[in-house]
Amino acid sequence: KDHLVTLSDAAIACLGPRGADDDFIFPSLSGGHLSHSSTGPVLAEYNLTDKEGRAITLHGMRTTLATWGQEQEPPFPDKVIDMTLAHKEPDNVTAAYLQSELLPPRRKLLDAWGAFATRI
């Protein structure tokens, strides 16, 4: 399922002169976008670790955003965090009634995260 991402100004600035005009930020050489099975190994090649020596992974980055969002005052709603991370609603009945993509609150989350992640 397609997932629309509301890029923060900080994320767009990280893209440099290329900007966010392309359909995909991480396009594949064969067209389309890089898959999770492609991006994980690319990240692993950098051999990055956290301060405890654990490998930095895509799942760990997603966990960091979710945890940070939950710890803010006030915390970002779990539904906003879940939708930002493209989590599927586990309850099919609830999913049938959730038609909003929650773009404005997702943008607030990513703007706040971008400001936090890029501060010096």
3-state secondary structure of 33: strand
Query: Hey, is 55 helix, strand or coil?
Result: strand
Q: What is the pLDDT of residues 19-74, one digit of tens each?
A: 656 677 777 778 777 777 788 888 888 899 989 999 998 888 899 999 999 999 99
Higher pLDDT, 99 or 28: 99
For the chain, percent helix, then strand, then coil, each to nearest 5?
A: 50, 5, 45
At 97, is the pLDDT very low, low, confident or very high (cuts 50, 70, 90)?
very high
Q: Over range 79-90, report the average pLDDT.
A: 93
Q: How far is CA 35 from the centre of its chain?
A: 14
* Of residues 17, 13, 18, 42, the one with CA closest to residue 110: 13
Q: Flag whether pLDDT at 108 surpasses 80.
A: yes
Is 120's pLDDT higher than 70?
A: no
Give percent of the chain with pLDDT exceeding 90. 43
Q: What is the pLDDT of residue 110?
A: 95
The rounded mean pLDDT for the chain is 87
